[in-house]
Each structure stands twice: as C-alpha cells, then as structure tokens.
Amino acid sequence: MEVALNLDPVSPIALYRQIYDGLRGGIVGGRFEAGAKLPASRALATSLGVSRITVTECYERLVSEGYLETRRGSGTFVCSSLPETDMYASGVTVEIDPQVESYPPVRLSRYGAIIDAPIRPPNPPEMLRLDSHGPDVTAFPRKLWTRLWVRRMQEDPPKLLQYTQEFNGSTELRTAVAHYLRMSRAVVCDPNQIIITSGSQQALYLAARIFLDQSDCVAMEAPGYRFAGRIFDSQGANILPIPVDRNGMQVSQLKKHSDKAVKLVYVTPSHQYPRGVSLSIARRMDLLAWARQAGALILEDDYDSEYRYNERPLPSIQGMVPDAPVLYVGTFSKLLFPTLRLGYLVVPRAFQDVFTGGKLLCDLQSSSIDQRILTDFLTEGHLEPYVRKMRIIYRNRRALLVESLQKHFGRRVTVYGDHAGMHFLADFQIDLSEEEAFGRALAAGVRLERVYWPACSAVERAGHVQFVFAFAALSENQLILAAERVAGAFLS
C-alpha cells in the first residue's frame, strides 16, 4: 500500500514530526482503517525521500503509543483499538427524577469554613503590581540553570523521576543548605535538622499544624505577615498581636501576656514585615530568655535577609545561643524565582522526626530534579555572585521608587524601615480612607498591598493611610510610572 504524505522540507517542523503527525492524523481520522497494513519502513522511506531511520523512529513511537502494532513475519498494522478510545470516557447522560430532592450540602470542617473565601481574580497584564513580592525573574541566569538541568538529567534520569525515601529533602541539598546558612546567616545546625519544604509558606503551615491546637495562643508582630496570620487562624489558634516600633517587636509587651500559655512566637527579625525594621540585639536576647522561661518556640521567618544595602546581613536568632528554642524558616523561591518552590525549615533535634512525618503527609516530597539542580547552584558557587548582582539592582530600584514618591508627595509621604529587602512601607498624609485610596490606585492601574493587622489590632491615624510597596519585580520605568499613577490617584 502506497502512503501519500504532504512533507514540506523548508518547514521549521522537523520531517520526523511531519511524518508522525501525518500518520497519526490518518489513523485517528479514519484514513487508515483498523487492521490496515502499512508499508515496510524501507519502502515508505524510499517513497517519501527520507532516511529509513526517520520512518523507523515514527513507527516505533506510534507502536509505543498504541496506534500501530507489529506482527512478526507479517509487518506493521493499524491497531483495532485506538488510544483515544481507551483514554477518554464516553459521555453518559443520566436523567434525574424531578421528584427526588437535591442532596443536602456537605458541611465544611472548621478549617474549611475559615479558608472558604473567594479567590481574587487575575489582574490584567497592564496592571502595575506593587503587591507582588517576587524577585526580578528576567535577571535570573536561565542559561546556567538549563545547563545544570541538562547535566543532571543525563546522569541518571530514571532515578530523578522516581519517588525517594528522603522525605525531608535530599541529603546533598540539606548539606549544601546547612553550609550556606552557617556561612551567611550564622545558623547552627547539621543537615538532619533541615526539612526541605515547598517554599517558606509550607514551612509556616507545618509549624502551625504540628504545634497549634484550637484555642492555643500564638503571638505575632502587629502589623505583620497576612498569610502567617491566616495560617495560625486556620488552626483555630488565638492570635496575640504584639506591637512593633523602630527596634522591632516590643518584647516587653509580649511579657505582659504571662497569663496566657503562648506556644509560638512568629517574628521576622532581620527585616520585619511590613515595617522593614530589624529586631535589636538586646530584644533578640530578651526574646530568647523569655521563650526558654515560658516554654515557647520562636518561629523565625528570614525571608529576604540577603538584601541589606548599607550593611552586612544580620545573624539569625537561631544561632545566638546553643540549642535555641527556634524554628528557622527561609526560602529560595523569593531569592531565585517563585516557581522553584523550595524552602527550608531548621528545627531543633527533638523535632526532626515529627516534621519529617508532617512533610510526608503533606506532599510526600519536593521535586527531586529541582533539589539536585539547586544543590549544584549552591555548591558550585553560583548563588553568591547572583545575590551580589541583584543587591545592586534592588538597591537602585528601592532608591528610585522612594525618590519618585517624594518627588510627587514631598513631606506628605514617609517611608519606614531599613535600607533592605524587596519592599517598604509608605505612609501618606492624605484625606482619603484606606478603602478609597486603594480603589483609586486600582482604577489608575496600580495594585497596592494593604497593611495586615492581626486580631483587629489596627492603629489608625486620622488623615494617614499606609500601603506596602513591593518593588523588586518591576523595572525602573514601571516604578516611575507607578509613582505617577499613585500620585494622580491620591492627590486628584
């Protein structure tokens, strides 16, 4: 049987793909009937003017996918049952007796009821997102990452695609992370204390899930990180808001809650979110002493401490004293690129097994491929020069956005926090409510982030509104335009 296929030798589509698509399309469309015999690979190659290897590869792929079958001594035939028939369910319509009442709604759990809220619709692409806390992915060394990926996949790809028994993360990555944290953050730990998580968000969730029961008390900074508050609330915990000043969380205010058995204290000491200040050394030591006495754990979220623009990164609370009662959280998703979804949790030795079990129940394991590539990125010394480059970029963007806001608002805007991180908090002296200001900015094409005050602890100042400005992911021109739009929205 002769087979006619339309091949275009100048097409960007490879001849192999054109032949495969032509044969598969003919089979699915009924041109080649079930049981029909196809020409031998040599004969088809000759008639099409291509190499026999090309035709053989097409046949082998169609056989592996279930479109063709080979019969020894007879040749190659179209299968009687095609993959489309087996893969997709046929439509079945079931008529419902109108007299039968609809099923009663299934009751949500307490957790389900708490998180049952509408998901914010996607923003249009022209919207300037000053509430997006990701890094600048355009500056990431994608070619380098691709080269590392290809090398790993060539080593032992079947192993990388299988389940592992290292539920807490690959040994080599945990070893690399332990070395990185020891050198850059003064964290004291061995690799067994590290749990590789799906970003810092999962690390916070695991900590809350493992330690908090309903009505347990957890203290956190006010204002603070919205998703941490939602996680604690989802576990039924009572949140104690602790005020923040220019030196970080006011530990003296925390001590006033001696009548409550606080189990966790959530802090962002190196770059408080959202005020941007750092927790002083004196308060760090005070917090550690209080935690030991109260039998509480400190949940230290160190989400962007690599980016300090006027001084070296601050050492962690975790490494300040031996056997500190600290759960230390960090992430590479914010440092490198968001879809990496790799973070880490450093836990005291007594909690290694329970957190490994929690990770196993949560999602079994993080991506083996991504873990191996990140290991190479760390051990081959690529992270430090990348951070140095991005530190300059983010420092300049921060300065540009602050300057642009001051140009439009003058003394009517105050920027809080250290010269650090990937966001800052801005206070505007205007005659608008937060709701009105947010809506006007959104209408002008800028999405701002509102300040989160846990447990209704908001401190309002008449004639002032505050918003968080995340600047890292926007270009210089976008930041200038965003400042212009915010000024037009607030001052018109």
What count of other Cβ atoms lies within 10 Å of the Cβ of residue 374? 26
Per-residue pLDDT of 428-448, as tens digits, reads 999 999 999 999 999 999 999
What count of other Cβ atoms lies within 10 Å of the Cβ of residue 480? 16
Q: Report the candidate in 189, 153, 141 with the shortest Cα–Cα distance to residue 168.
A: 189
Task: Determine the pLDDT at residue 440.
Answer: 97
- Give backbone dihedrals phi and psi of 208, rounded to 5 degrees, phi first: -65, -40
CA angle, corner 312, sides to 310 and 315, nearest 5?
Answer: 135
Domain ranges of the chain: 15-87, 128-135+386-491, 142-381
Task: Determine the pLDDT at residue 229.
Answer: 96
Q: How far apart are CA 279 and CA 317, in angstroms?
A: 10
8 A C-beta contact, residue 144 and residue 385: no
Task: Determine the pLDDT at residue 103.
Answer: 63
Distances (CA, A) of 107 to 46, 117, 214, 237: 67, 15, 19, 21
Q: Where are the alpha helices (DSSP H) in 186-243?
A: 199-211, 226-234
Per-residue pLDDT of 82-133, as tens digits, reads 887 666 666 666 665 666 556 677 888 888 888 888 887 788 888 999 998 8
Q: What is the DSSP letter of 473?
A: T
Domains 15-87 and 142-381 share a fold: no
When the candidates are 3.20.20.10, 3.30.300.130, 3.30.70.20, 1.10.10.10, the CATH number that belongs to 15-87 is 1.10.10.10
Q: Which of 14-23, 260-269, 395-404 has the lowest mean pLDDT?
A: 14-23
For 78, the 3-state DSSP assignment is strand
Confidence of residue 237 (pLDDT cuts 50, 70, 90): very high
Domain 142-381 in CATH 3.30.230.10: no
Residue position matching structure tokens 């009442």: 101
Q: Report the candidate in 117, 334, 346, 111 with the shortest Cα–Cα distance to residue 231.
A: 111
Q: 244 has which bridge partners?
A: 249
464-470 vs 217-222, strand pairing mode: unpaired
Q: What is the DSSP letter of 280?
A: -
CA angle, corner 230, sides to 229 and 232, nearest 5?
Answer: 65
Per-residue pLDDT of 328-352, as tens digits, reads 999 999 999 999 999 999 999 999 9
| Cis ω for the linkage preceding 241 (within 30 of 0) | no
Distances (CA, A) of 482 to 446, 448, 464: 6, 10, 20
Burial 434-444 (b: 16+ CB within 10 A, else e): beebbebbeeb
Structure tokens at 251: 């530990």
What count of other Cβ atoms lies within 10 Å of the Cβ of residue 492? 7
**Is it the case that residue 381 has pLDDT exceeding 70?**
yes
Spacing of C-alpha 260 from chain mean position:
34
Q: How far apart are CA 28 and CA 136, in angstroms?
A: 45
For 479, the 3-state DSSP assignment is helix
Distances (CA, A) of 394 to 14, 343, 354: 43, 21, 38
Q: How far apart are CA 189 and CA 357, in angstroms?
A: 19
For 310, the 3-state DSSP assignment is coil
Per-residue pLDDT of 267-322, as tens digits, reads 999 999 999 999 999 999 999 999 999 999 999 999 998 999 988 878 899 999 99
Q: How far apart are CA 464 and CA 365, in angstroms?
A: 46
Q: Report the candidate in 418, 413, 393, 389 with the shortest Cα–Cα distance to residue 402.
A: 413
When the pLDDT of each residue in the chain is averaged and rounded to a whole number, the result is 92
Distances (CA, A) of 435 to 353, 428, 449, 467: 46, 13, 11, 11
When the candidates are 3.90.1150.10, 3.40.50.1010, 3.40.225.10, 3.30.450.20, the CATH number that belongs to 128-135+386-491 is 3.90.1150.10
Q: Report the candidate in 269, 281, 393, 278 with the shortest Cα–Cα distance to residue 330.
A: 269
| Average pLDDT value for residue range 368-388 | 97
Q: What is the DSSP letter of 300?
A: E
Task: Determine the pLDDT at residue 86.
Answer: 63
Q: Report the candidate in 409, 465, 406, 459 with the shortest Cα–Cα distance to residue 432.
A: 465
Q: How far apart are CA 436 and CA 285, in angstroms?
A: 42
Distances (CA, A) of 328 to 185, 195, 266, 365, 384: 11, 10, 10, 20, 21
pTM (2 d.p.): 0.84
How long a stretch of residues is the chain?
492
Which helix (H) or strand (E) covers residue 436, if one does? helix 434-443
Task: Determine the pLDDT at residue 311.
Answer: 82
